[in-house]
């Protein structure tokens, strides 16, 4: 075998070995290098009530320098002994470079920050207070509670959730209100028809004048209930007052109808005895029909009022309704905190100065 052929085979072997070494080195730096721990990092656990889109791998920064990173983020279930005091939330395992742990006090305030509204989130250790004692640094396994992020995205997300809840509540309640207003209109029309029949049947009859006045009062209250109680502010107190007024109007209407029935019977007998010709036009029958229509309208309003009371109770309890918007204790506090930050430290929300 010639020397030239041996050199060619040797060249191919050397080239293959070199390519293998290069590929191994690339794979090592891409897949292994970041996972190699030089020294022993100090791992702490940071608890959050709201982690604000924080991701694994996000850095931990002190005074503008990265001293560690987040290794893992897990959910925290209800109960247990931790800085969340048994509430639900998340916990992040943070690995701090071993020679940098002294920069994080055991009583440090850690919060979620970002360089801009759309940039990635990271953890930052707040500067110590001006007159505060230095204190010891964190140790392996320390547990800290991070400040709830008063960031703009958190406030806007909660606002959007509450607006959506209010819209769903309005859509659910709307048909019931429209039906109740329709039935109140029908009741008002029936009361007017009853009064007209009584007036036609016995004009100038003094016995019917108090009933006319009562019917007019009931119609006025029903109109006010429809136009004001069902078209104005839907606060809890106004809502309950509206339901109580509606039930009072119905009770008065029932009492008036109870008085009208014997009066109609008595007037009918008098008409039959005195003026038989009027019976052909049957005004008493029309009066009785008007009374029956009034009772039918009341029967339709009763279940609507029961539904309204149920909705009022749901709102008072804050169950998936406008009550969530009215009773949310976090939103006003977040809004106040956001206002303070925008005045004093706007870079925590908008952009950090360089």
Q: pLDDT tens digits for 127-182?
A: 777 666 767 888 888 888 887 765 555 666 666 777 777 677 667 666 666 666 66
Domain count of the fold of the chain: 2
Rounded to whole angstroms, the Cα distance separating 19 from 25 reads 10
pLDDT at 207: 47
Domain presence at residue 243: yes
**pLDDT greater at residue 340 or residue 71:** 71
Distance CA 42, CA 65 (A): 17
Tell me the pLDDT tens digit for each residue of 250-292.
666 666 666 656 655 555 555 454 444 444 455 555 656 666 6
pLDDT in tens, 84-111: 887 888 888 888 887 888 888 887 888 8
pLDDT greater at residue 133 or residue 3: 133
Domain range spanning residue 54?
Answer: 42-149
One domain, residues 213 and 246: yes
For residue 138, being part of any structural domain is answered with yes
Looking at the structure, tell me whether residues 219 and 86 fall in a common domain.
no
206 and 89 co-located in one domain: no
- The answer, yes or no, to whether residue 230 has pLDDT greater than 50, is no
User: Which pLDDT score, from 0 to 100, does residue 88 have?
Assistant: 83
Burial class for 347, CB neighbours closer than 10 Å (0-12, 13-18, 19+): middle
Please say if the pLDDT value at position 7 is more than 50.
Answer: yes
Structural domain contains residue 23:
no
Percentage of residues of the chain with pLDDT beyond 70: 37
Same domain, 78 and 168: no
Report pLDDT digits (tens) over 27-73: 877 776 666 555 678 888 888 887 767 788 888 888 888 888 888 88
Mean pLDDT of 242-254: 65
Work out the percent of the chain whose per-residue pLDDT is above 90.
0
Torsion angles phi and psi, residue 169, rounded to 5? -65, -45
Q: Of the candidates 227, 222, 244, 228, which has an alpha carbon nearest to the alpha carbon of residue 312?
A: 244
One domain, residues 106 and 145: yes
pLDDT the model gives residue 107? 79
Residue at which a domain ends, from 149, 181, 214: 149
Average pLDDT over every residue of 290-300: 64
By mean pLDDT, which of 120-129, 228-237, 341-350 is the weakest? 228-237
Q: Are residues 233 and 132 in the same domain?
A: no
Q: Look at residue 232 and tell me whether its pLDDT is greater than 70.
A: no
End residue of a domain, out of 149, 180, 215 = 149
300 and 195 housed in the same domain: yes
Q: What is the mean pLDDT of the chain?
A: 67
CA-based Rg of the chain, rounded to a whole angstrom?
A: 39
185 vs 147: CA distance, rounded Å: 55
Please state the pTM of the whole predicted model: 0.36
Distance CA 267, CA 261 (A): 10
3-state secondary structure the chain: CCHHHHHHHHHHHHHHHHHHHHHHHHHHHHHHHHHCCCCCCEEEEEEECCCCCCCCCCEEEECCEEEEEEEEEEEECCCCCCCCCCCCEEEEEEEECHHHHHHCECCCCEEEEECCCCCCEEEEECCCCCCCCCCCECCCCCEEECCCCCCHHHHHHHHHHHHHHHHHHHHHHHHHHHHHHHHHHHHHHHHHHHHHHHHHHCCCCHHHHHHHHHHHHHHHHHHHHHHHHCCCCCCHHHHHHHHHHHHHHHHHHHHHHHHHHHHHHHHHHHHHHHCHHHHCCCHHHHHHHHHHHHHHHHHHHHHHHHHHHHHHHHHHHCCCCHHHHHHCCHHHHHHHHHHHHHHHCHHHCCCCCC
Tell me what pLDDT residue 174 has. 66
pLDDT at 286: 61
296 and 174, same domain (yes or no): yes
Rounded Cα distance, 126 and 345, in Å: 12
The token duo for 253 is 């209407």
How far, in Å, CA of 111 to CA of 289, rounded? 73
Position 85 in a domain: yes
């Amino acid at each position: 075998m010639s020397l030239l052929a041996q050199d060619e085979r040797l060249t191919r072997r050397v080239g293959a070995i070199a390519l293998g070494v290069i590929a191994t080195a690339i794979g090592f730096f891409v897949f292994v290098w970041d996972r190699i721990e030089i020294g022993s990092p100090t791992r702490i656990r940071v608890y959050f009530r709201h982690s604000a889109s924080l991701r694994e791998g996000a850095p931990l920064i002190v005074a503008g320098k990265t001293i560690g990173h987040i290794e893992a983020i897990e959910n925290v279930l209800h109960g247990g002994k931790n800085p969340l005091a048994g509430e639900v939330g998340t916990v992040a395992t943070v690995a701090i470079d071993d020679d940098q742990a002294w920069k994080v006090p055991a009583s440090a305030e850690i919060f979620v920050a970002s360089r801009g509204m759309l940039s990635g989130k990271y953890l930052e250790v707040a500067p110590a207070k001006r007159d505060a004692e230095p204190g010891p640094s964190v140790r392996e396994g320390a547990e800290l509670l991070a400040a709830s992020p008063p960031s703009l995205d958190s406030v806007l997300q909660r606002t959007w959730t509450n607006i959506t809840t209010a819209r769903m509540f309005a859509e659910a309640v709307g048909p019931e209100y429209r039906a109740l207003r329709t039935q109140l209109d029908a009741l008002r029309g029936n009361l007017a028809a009853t009064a007209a029949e009584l007036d036609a049947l016995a004009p100038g009859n003094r016995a019917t004048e108090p009933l006319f006045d009562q019917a007019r009062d009931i119609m006025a209250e029903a109109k006010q209930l429809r136009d004001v109680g069902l078209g104005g502010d839907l606060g809890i107190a106004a809502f309950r007052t509206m339901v109580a007024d509606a039930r009072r109007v119905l009770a008065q209407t029932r009492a008036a109808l109870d008085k009208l029935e014997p009066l109609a019977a008595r007037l009918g007998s008098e008409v039959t005895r005195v003026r038989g010709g009027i019976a052909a036009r049957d005004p008493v029958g029309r009066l009785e029909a008007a009374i029956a229509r009034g009772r039918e309208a009341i029967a339709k309003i009763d279940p609507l009022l029961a539904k309204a009371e149920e909705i009022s109770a749901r709102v008072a309890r804050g169950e998936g309704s406008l009550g969530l918007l009215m009773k949310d204790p976090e939103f006003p506090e977040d809004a106040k905190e956001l206002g303070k930050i925008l005045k004093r430290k706007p870079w925590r929300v908008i952009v950090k100065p360089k």
